[in-house]
Amino acid sequence: MTGLVFWVLVALATVTSFATAWALGANSNSPPFAPAIGANAVSTMRAAFLIGILAALGALTQGGSISETVGSGLIDGIAFTSLAATTGLLTATAFMAFGVYTGYPVPAAFATTGAMVGVGLSLGGAPAFDTYRRIALFWALVPPVSGGLAYLTAKMLRRDDIPETVAIPLLAGVVGGIVANIQLSIIPSPTGASQESVAGFVSGVVPVLTVGGVEVATVVVTLAFAAVSFHLIRRRTQTSVDRGVKTFLIVLGSVVAFSSGGSQVGLATGPLENLYRGELGLPVIGLLALGSTGILTGAWMGAPRLLQATSREYAQLGIRRSIAALVPGFVIAQVAIALGIPISFNNIIISGVIGGGLAGGSAGVSRRKIGLTVGFWFFTLGTSIVIGFGLYRAFATVLGV
């Protein structure tokens, strides 16, 4: 491959990665603020602005683990070249575009994972079966866990003996405790880890006891975050239940949007990991900055239209079911980020909406639609592997590489 061809492919791979991030920002980050818009807690344009900022920050500070998995954990024995990265991203983006224009539920994580596996096999790599087992197990657990958590949350919110002045602050406390433990690359780690949480940082610098293998400082910081979150939302709901719920919807939407960016950016930047770090010698933060910029511009330019549509859907669901769908979305996204597992955020939300719907009976939950959605997920994964494999062979033959 000549120098000119190499740099052309680098430019094409970069543009394709940015376009993929743009599509993710425009399409995958709307659910978090849709309930708040449906409840008239925030305007559509302000929500789109916040989504862009928060998702981009999440991508920049939390996107490294999933990006690394997509870039080097799916295939053993090879490193993705610029042509391979371009081919995989083009395949995945084509699937996502197909889903947008046809309305079929195409999951970005399935499309990207399948495309990169297909390209890697075409390059002569070996399947990374250990990684596949971890990913498959996590994907299989997402629907029952997300749906189950949403069901339990909706049931709690529907109980007459638990007033909203208690139920909503309790959920805020749970979210606050989790926030204290999310891993961020901007927090220095006393142990030298690439990412650290607020609770982990405090436990690393404060010499306190360890009980049963658990740092006491970690527990204290977690409970402190939970208590502050509970108190703030409790005070708002006691003043006005409506105002307290709307405040919680905005806070919940913010942390979910942040998590969405961290869990999605790796789908766009992962294929370029070897190219940027190995061949060009650029720092990982530069690659994540590319992805976060794409997510930011995609959210600002494309999210308003989708927000208006999804907010109407969430308004029909009601506030309780909307909250019940978003809480497990935040939890599962953070677990996936911590484990470095690529996920489709919309799949989590869909499962949560179904679980929340079942809490009020089976009304509104279509078995046919559920079957169609799950079937198309498997179709996307299998077809993207085949297309990625064949497309790379075709490009390599034409370019003589």
Average pLDDT across each block of 10 residues of the chain; the chain has 401 residues. List them in order: 76 90 81 77 86 92 90 91 90 82 74 94 93 93 89 85 89 94 80 73 74 77 94 93 88 91 91 85 87 91 74 68 85 91 82 75 60 80 94 88 70
Torsion-angle region of 154 (φ positive above 0: left; ψ -120 to 50: alpha; else: beta): alpha
pLDDT of residue 316: 66
* Tokens 């719907």, residue located: 357
pLDDT value for 2: 65
What is the pLDDT, as a whole number, of residue 134? 94
Q: What is the number of other CB atoms lying within 10 angstroms of the CB of residue 137?
A: 11
Residues 6 or more apart whose Cβ sits within 8 Å of residue 46: none
pLDDT at 137: 94
Output the pLDDT for position 125. Answer: 92
pLDDT of residue 171: 93
**Residues 6 or more apart whose Cβ sits within 8 Å of residue 149:** 324, 327, 328, 331, 352, 355
Backbone angles phi, psi at 285, to 5 degrees: -60, -30
